[in-house]
Amino acid sequence: MLAEETSQSRQDARQIGRLTPDQRLVVASRVAALTVFTMRYAIWTSPDRGDVPEEDITVSEMCGGKESYNGQEIEVSEAAIREVLHSGLFSSRGPNRIGWAHQTYAEYLAAYYLVHRGLTHAQIMSLIIHPGDSKRKLVPQLHETAAWIAGMVPEIFRNILDTDVAVLLKSDVATADVRDREALVRILLKSLEEEKVLYRDLGARASYRKLSYPALTDHLKAYLTDRTKSLIVRREATDIAEACELVGVQDDLANIALDSTEPRQLRTNAAHAIQRIGSDDTKKRLRPLLEYPPPEDPDEELKGCALRALWPSNITAEELFSILRPSSNDSFIGAYHMFLSYDLPKQIQKPHLTAALDWLESQTSRHELPFAFRNLIDAIIDKAWDSVDEPDVLAKFARLATNKLRRFISD
């Protein structure tokens, strides 16, 4: 669609170019390969008078030869390049300069170009591997392009497994062979355990849901239940289990969350996973976390995860409001803060309002309370006002309003 001519005025003037959208895309893929693999920021569209920025490539440098699509040859002339540069794939970078409208377009099309042109696996690897790295690591600036290539060429996927396993999490691993997905998980966890991978793009975790394969539950159990494994690798095993919704490990996750001898970070991770994928019976197991003393749960992350898991199906409003208290660390925005300021205000219903109003009446002056409590109080008052047709709500709301007004007047 981006390669189509969408300007109505240009269509009316019959200035729609000579290339079809598919042909434009093929030419654009050449432009992508040239800009990505030569690390050029923009395309210089004016004649070269010695003023071309070092990080730019000129239109004339990209011309010459032919490309093909569906057996038809496309002459890559200056006119063809300029026609492509006028498409929605590109945007202005200032006077005489054009760049990609989004870097992802360039990264994907550069990968497509290599595959479309039929480069050998060895040729492709020579383009993406850092030439000075004895460990054959990929060029960092080419990670995204390498991920696209890996999704298109299984052999490249397997080659990268041995060098930069974290890069493959950015690829479309859902389309990989089951054995490749299993190999990816095994190598990823092994690399984390051996501290070969210490930092990953947090966005890569979004790809964990694509890693599922039949033996994944058993594979992760071995890490979750083995206390000799490092915190890093067990935490990632928890994240993978959550992303892939592996209910077969929920009992193991509950055991971790409830075990005070486990690292607090791992316990919080496990409790969060149960909140997301656990059954009602497993969620009920988290009840003890509601009353954990501050030394064991200083940021009330465990309590927050338990509340999010139990409310509203597995805990009454009376029980809930009896355990709510200001956080000991109000500057920390975690599970407890999010429950108080986001989840609970949205989930309060008419049957909860009498308990909520009783709790509200017991609170101190509003300005002395942390933000999450003030936000919750506002939500309770708004919902109670909308439900004053209920006699019990009306009576409690009126008493609360009267007491607050008296206190205001006396102050």
In this prediction, residue 198 carries a pLDDT of 60
Residues 6+ away with beta carbon under 8 Å from 371? 330, 341
Give pLDDT < 50 ranges for the chain.
Answer: none
DSSP 43: E
Element (H, E) at 92: strand 90-92
- Token pair 């009353």: residue: 291
User: H-type helices in 117-171, by residue range?
Assistant: 121-128, 143-152, 154-161
Gap between the Cα atoms of 257 and 251, Å rounded = 10
Nearest to 137 by CA among 162, 163, 159, 167: 163
Residues 6+ away with beta carbon under 8 Å from 408? none
Gap between the Cα atoms of 397 and 208, Å rounded = 48
Gap between the Cα atoms of 113 and 301, Å rounded = 48
Q: Strands 56-58 and 66-69, how do they pair? A: unpaired
Nearest to 171 by CA among 123, 197, 202, 207: 207
Task: For residue 384, give both structure tokens.
Answer: 């109670």
Burial class (CB in 10 A: 0-12, 13-18, 19+), 123: exposed
In this prediction, residue 94 carries a pLDDT of 92
Residues in the chain: 411
- Token pair 């790295």: residue: 133
Burial class (CB in 10 A: 0-12, 13-18, 19+), 83: buried
* Contact by Cβ (8 Å): 251, 282: yes
Gap between the Cα atoms of 289 and 282, Å rounded = 13
- Token pair 């032919």: residue: 66
φ/ψ of residue 359, rounded to 5: -65, -45
Task: For residue 353, give both structure tokens.
Answer: 């309002």
